[in-house]
Amino acid sequence: MDFIDTGLQAKIVSQNETHYQFYQYQAEGHYNITRPINTRLMYDSETFEASAAQFLQTLEQLRNRVTPDEQFRQGMIQTIYTLQQSIGAALDALPSGQSNQARKITGDLFERLIRILIVTLDIECVSGTVQVPVRDQNDEVLFHSSYQHDLLIGEAGELKLIGFVKTTSKDRIDKVFVDKFLYSKLTDTALPHIAIFLNDVQRKKTSRSDRYGISATFLPGHFKAYTIKLNPLDGVYYCDIRPNMRTDALLSQHIQTIDYFFCRVSN
DNA sequence: TGTGCGCGACGGAGTCTTGT
DNA sequence: ACAAGACTCCGTCGCGCACA
């Protein structure tokens, strides 16, 4: 937060959705330009300290199975967003040759952040592989298909929920639906499958090469098709939710902000 | 226990489609 | 004709599985 105040070359305003900004680093950050940052969600150095205290209070309430009020829930969205984008934006400073390494780390850390928050609420939560038995017509187990999942939530040792934790859905949303479909097909049981995403925007170049805008990476057509024709997911949660996820009749039924997730697992 | 290999993480950049 | 939107592909790395 302090570095943003003092250490940047520039803050570039997005040409289309102007509440998004890109930070540009100085020489030590190779003059790199960061991922888009939503200024409506990102705290600054002045507001973060108070917000962080409030965030801890919110976690305490959730741990005691109390549903926080609206202001605290909004603060929760913004704190998680700020924490994760700080990581992402910092890693954007690495030289271009290390960008794929940075992407890997960004994703791993987001998974870990979400799991730490869940564990804080005294809920059993790990990542790992699930062995799903594949049976023939006579119910004989042929073999096990192993699935690695970001989020496995349990209660008294029993698996209760499978979660996908990604910074963006991009072209990977299909897999969540297919995994749920296959799981219920293979096991004849219905286990809730949910997904948690940070955002679904990326930087894009505009017609003028020195200017940047943002573009959405969420695929509404795929989401709706899978929801209707395969199986709906049991919850999809965003920090930085897209406008069409609120306005579209079908999307808004299935997609919510991330505070809804934490209120739900706390109950 | 050691080794090798396949897979999937993300986000920039590309192509294709739709809209004005 | 041009812009915006929708969707797809790619690169590099480390983890984890399979097998010896």
Q: E strand or H helix at A182, and its extent?
A: helix A173-187
Residue nearest to nucleotide B13 (CA to C1'): A204
With CA of A108 and C1' of each nucleotide, the nearest comes out as B9
A217 touches strand B (CB under 7 A): yes
The secondary structure of chain A in percent helix, strand, coil, rounded to multiples of 5, reads: 45, 25, 25
Is the whole model's pTM more than 0.85, yes or no? yes
Q: Do A2 and A44 meet the contact criterion of CB atoms below 8 Å apart?
A: no
So what's the pLDDT on residue A188?
A: 78
So what's the pLDDT on residue A263?
A: 94
Instruction: Report residue A124 CA to chain centroid gap.
Output: 19
> Of A151-155, A170-174, A178-182, A261-265, which gets the smallest average pLDDT?
A170-174
- The pLDDT tens digits of the residues spanning A167-226 come to 888 767 777 888 788 788 777 788 888 888 888 888 777 666 566 777 777 777 778 778
> Of A10-19, A54-63, A168-177, A208-217, which gets the smallest average pLDDT?
A208-217
So what's the pLDDT on residue A97?
A: 62
Residues lining strand C at under 7 Å (Cβ) are A 16, 97-101, 103-104, 128-129, 146, 148, 170-171, 206-207, 215-217, 219-222
A93 band by pLDDT with thresholds 50, 70 and 90: confident
Q: Is the pLDDT of residue A66 over 90?
A: yes
> Of A157-166, A208-217, A226-235, which gets the smallest average pLDDT?
A208-217
Q: Is the pLDDT of residue A62 over 90?
A: yes
So what's the pLDDT on residue A60?
A: 95
- The pLDDT tens digits of the residues spanning A108-149 come to 778 888 888 888 898 888 777 777 777 777 777 766 666 777
So what's the pLDDT on residue A59?
A: 95
* Stretch A157-176: mean pLDDT: 80
Residue nearest to nucleotide C12 (CA to C1'): A100
Supply the range of the domain harboring residue A185: 2-266
Residue A45's φ and ψ, nearest 5 degrees, are: -60, -30
So what's the pLDDT on residue A210?
A: 64
A250: domain CATH number is 3.40.91
Q: How many domains does chain A have?
A: 1
DSSP three-state, residue A36: coil
Distance CA A233, CA A162 (A): 11
The CA–C1' separation of A8 and B19, in angstroms, is 38
For strand C, give the nucleotides within 7 A of a protein CB. 2-9, 11-14, 16-18
Distance CA A103, CA A134 (A): 34
Q: Which class for A100: exposed (0-12), middle (13-18), buried (19 or more C-beta within 10 A)?
A: exposed
